[in-house]
């Protein structure tokens, strides 16, 4: 491009340098407007927050449906389902091991789905059905029996969570393959490495549950 070339090829879209600079001025003005608009938006957001979601403080009253029964209790809004079950409702099937959603020992079933109760807010479970292993069939057609029969445990820390995860899985998939069981309960870990027994227990429980 030469200096007298009016169509500056260095300018976007083939515009002349002058047109390009004029355009830049408009862009700068737009940026100022955008800044004003942002300030207005911030004000609107602040106003919306004033009339928006309320911040819960202190304790709240809660009714949780656990194992078919309504349980009323009072908890802080930040309370986890695990804390609420164990410390307020005396339902101790779910165990606290890692307390950070990595081991599965605290598994409970909420609306048919296995959840880590250590990282689930209790207030989010109101109006939902919650199942813990206290409600499971402990007879020969139940999952706990299969774990005993197949030695699906050593120290037992992980076992309540595995039993619960297996129950949730088998309720949805009553005829699983070994691979499906492996994937279906892979949110739980056993530090003792008792996986052979756990997997066998899940397969045997699937058969046993059909006879119930
Ligand atoms: S205690 Fe909840 S995942 Fe480990
Ligand atoms: S049996 Fe010990 S952690 Fe699983």
Domain CATH number, residue 152: 1.10.150.120
Residues 79 and 112 in one domain: yes
Residues 113 and 145 in one domain: no
**Which ligand gives the minimal distance to the CA of 82?**
1
Its domain, for residue 27, covers: 16-50
- The CB of 15 under 6 Å from ligand 1? The reply is no
Residues 34 and 84 in one domain: no
pLDDT digits (tens, 9 = 90+) for 148-186: 999 999 999 999 999 999 999 999 999 999 999 999 999
Pocket test for ligand 2, best of 97, 103, 153 (most atoms within 8 A of CB): 153
Nearest CA to ligand 2 atom 2: 155
Contacts of 175 (CB under 8 A, 6+ apart): 206
**pLDDT in the model for residue 57:** 74
Contact 105, 158 (CB under 8 A): yes
The domain spanning residue 81 has which CATH number?
3.10.20.30
Q: Which of 135, 166, 186 is the last residue of a domain?
A: 135
- With respect to residue 1, please indicate whether it lies within any of the assigned structural domains: no
Residues 36 and 95 in one domain: no
pLDDT digits (tens, 9 = 90+) for 49-84: 666 666 767 899 999 999 999 999 999 999 999 999
- The CB of 157 under 6 Å from ligand 1? The reply is no
Residues 77 and 128 in one domain: yes
CA distance 203 to 50: 54
Residues 123 and 155 in one domain: no
Residues 153 and 113 in one domain: no
- With respect to residue 65, please indicate whether it lies within any of the assigned structural domains: yes
Task: Determine the atom of ligand 2 nearest the C-alpha atom of 153.
Answer: 1
- With respect to residue 209, please indicate whether it lies within any of the assigned structural domains: yes
**Which ligand gives the minimal distance to the CA of 154?**
2
Residue 187 Cα, ligand 1 centroid: separation in angstroms? 10
**pLDDT in the model for residue 156:** 95
Contact 112, 122 (CB under 8 A): no
**pLDDT in the model for residue 6:** 34
Q: Which of 78, 102, 135 is the last residue of a domain?
A: 135
Q: How far apart are the first and last CA of the chain?
A: 87
**pLDDT in the model for residue 211:** 81
Residue 168 Cα, ligand 2 centroid: separation in angstroms? 19
pTM: 0.75
Residues 166 and 178 in one domain: yes
Question: How many domains, in total, are found in the chain?
Answer: 3
- With respect to residue 10, please indicate whether it lies within any of the assigned structural domains: no
- With respect to residue 6, please indicate whether it lies within any of the assigned structural domains: no
- The pocket around ligand 2, CB under 6 angstroms, is made up of 153-159, 190-192, 194
Residues 145 and 129 in one domain: no
CA distance 206 to 97: 27
- List the beta strands (DSSP E) in the chain: 60-66, 69-75, 107-110, 113-116, 129-131
């Amino acid at each position: 491009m030469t200096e007298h070339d009016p169509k500056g090829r260095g300018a976007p879209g083939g515009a002349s340098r002058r047109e390009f600079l004029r355009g830049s001025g408009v862009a700068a003005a737009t940026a100022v407007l955008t800044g004003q608009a942002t300030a207005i938006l911030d004000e609107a957001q602040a106003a919306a927050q004033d009339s928006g979601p309320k911040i819960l403080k202190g304790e709240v009253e809660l009714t949780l449906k656990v194992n078919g029964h309504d349980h009323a209790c009072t908890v802080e809004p930040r309370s986890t389902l695990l804390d609420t079950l164990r410390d307020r409702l005396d339902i101790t099937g779910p165990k606290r091991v890692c307390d950070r959603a990595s081991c599965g020992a605290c598994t409970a079933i909420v609306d048919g789905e296995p959840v880590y109760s250590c990282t689930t807010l209790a207030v989010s479970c109101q109006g939902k059905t919650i199942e813990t292993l206290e409600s499971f069939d402990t007879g020969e057609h139940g999952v706990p029996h299969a774990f005993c029969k197949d030695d699906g445990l050593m120290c037992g820390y992980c076992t309540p969570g595995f039993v619960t995860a297996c129950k949730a899985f088998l309720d949805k998939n009553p005829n699983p393959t070994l691979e499906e069981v492996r994937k279906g309960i892979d949110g739980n870990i056993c530090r003792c490495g008792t996986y052979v027994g756990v997997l066998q227990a899940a397969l045997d429980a699937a058969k046993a549950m059909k006879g119930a």
